């Protein structure tokens, strides 16, 4: 009986150690992924990168196709070192796609300050949500299907607004996106903590997308309400 109990404790300890290792590797890879993102954004601003500037609808479709292609490739290679390489390539691409917004914000006299504010706000949201996911006894796994549905609604609304060009709708989309992807951090971090996600590359990809979308939408809102041309 005591031997069985000892084996149970050993298995529980091993499982906990694996989860901690996955979480630690996830955070490290998430931090490293910011380097190609920043590089891509910087190069995009320097060379005035634009993705199908003459056709926003075609650009949106092409962006989604490339992004989902990268995500598919990452999931296919996530058990090898190639998964890290493909993930970093994806984050470089996402940095390039971010450069147009960054360039627009830098056109404001307080553009650099707005970018740093958005960065600080995003880091704060990540820290708070990750901490809540770590210390809370509540199970957030039930949020998954609702958050996924919310993302689909955002994508449809964003696609529609390419043609409608409604500023009010854009604001609503940004606010909802920040709320949804903040909640997604709770879900994704707790997936690792509870053992639902055991691959750190997939986990880093999920949290990276959460952070990226929060930053983009927060920066957009700051540009609209806080941008100054003086």
pLDDT in tens, 65-97: 999 999 999 999 999 889 999 999 999 999 999
Structure tokens at 154: 């955002």
The answer to whether 174 and 220 have CB atoms below 8 angstroms apart is: yes
DSSP state of 85: H
pLDDT, position 52: 78
CA atoms within 13 A on the CB side of 55: 7
CA 228, CA 23: separation in Å to the nearest integer? 40
CA 78, CA 199: separation in Å to the nearest integer? 7
The answer to whether 212 and 36 have CB atoms below 8 angstroms apart is: no
DSSP state of 109: T
Going from the C-alpha of 34 to that of each of 59, 85, 87, 119, 158, the distances in angstroms are 24, 13, 11, 11, 25
pLDDT, position 14: 55
Among candidates 108, 102, 131, which has minimal Cα distance to 219?
102
The stretch 188-207 carries a mean pLDDT of: 92
User: Structure pTM?
Assistant: 0.90
DSSP state of 180: H
Going from the C-alpha of 143 to that of each of 35, 127, 218, the distances in angstroms are 30, 19, 22
Torsion of CA 143, 148, 149, 155, to 10 degrees: 140
**Above pLDDT 90, what percent of the chain?**
67
DSSP state of 165: -
Among candidates 191, 48, 201, 221, which has minimal Cα distance to 130?
191
CA atoms within 13 A on the CB side of 112: 2
CA 145, CA 133: separation in Å to the nearest integer? 17
- Condensed to tens digits (0 to 9), the pLDDT of residues 16-64 reads 788 889 999 999 999 999 999 999 999 999 998 887 777 888 888 899 9
Among candidates 214, 49, 203, which has minimal Cα distance to 124?
214
Torsion of CA 146, 151, 155, 160, to 10 degrees: 50
The stretch 112-116 carries a mean pLDDT of: 95
């Amino acid at each position: 009986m005591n031997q069985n109990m000892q084996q149970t404790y050993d298995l529980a300890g091993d499982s906990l150690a694996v989860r901690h290792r996955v979480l630690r590797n996830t955070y490290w890879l998430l931090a490293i992924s910011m380097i190609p993102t920043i590089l891509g954004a910087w190069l995009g601003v320097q060379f005035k990168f634009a993705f199908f500037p003459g056709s926003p609808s075609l650009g949106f479709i092409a962006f989604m196709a490339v992004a989902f292609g990268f995500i598919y490739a990452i999931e296919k290679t996530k058990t090898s070192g190639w998964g890290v390489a493909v993930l970093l390539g994806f984050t470089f691409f996402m940095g390039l796609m971010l450069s147009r917004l960054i360039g627009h914000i830098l056109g404001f006299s307080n553009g650099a300050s707005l970018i740093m504010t958005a960065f600080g706000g995003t880091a704060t949201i990540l820290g708070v949500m990750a901490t809540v996911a770590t210390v809370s006894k509540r199970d957030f796994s039930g949020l998954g299907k609702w958050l996924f549905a919310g993302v689909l609604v955002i994508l449809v609304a964003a696609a529609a607004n390419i043609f409608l060009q409604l500023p009010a709708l854009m604001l609503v989309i940004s606010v909802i996106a920040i709320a949804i992807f903040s909640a997604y951090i709770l879900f994704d971090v707790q997936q690792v903590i509870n053992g639902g996600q055991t691959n750190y590359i997939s986990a880093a990809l999920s949290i990276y997308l959460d952070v990226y979308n929060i930053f983009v939408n927060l920066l957009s809102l700051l540009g609209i309400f806080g941008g100054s041309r003086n």
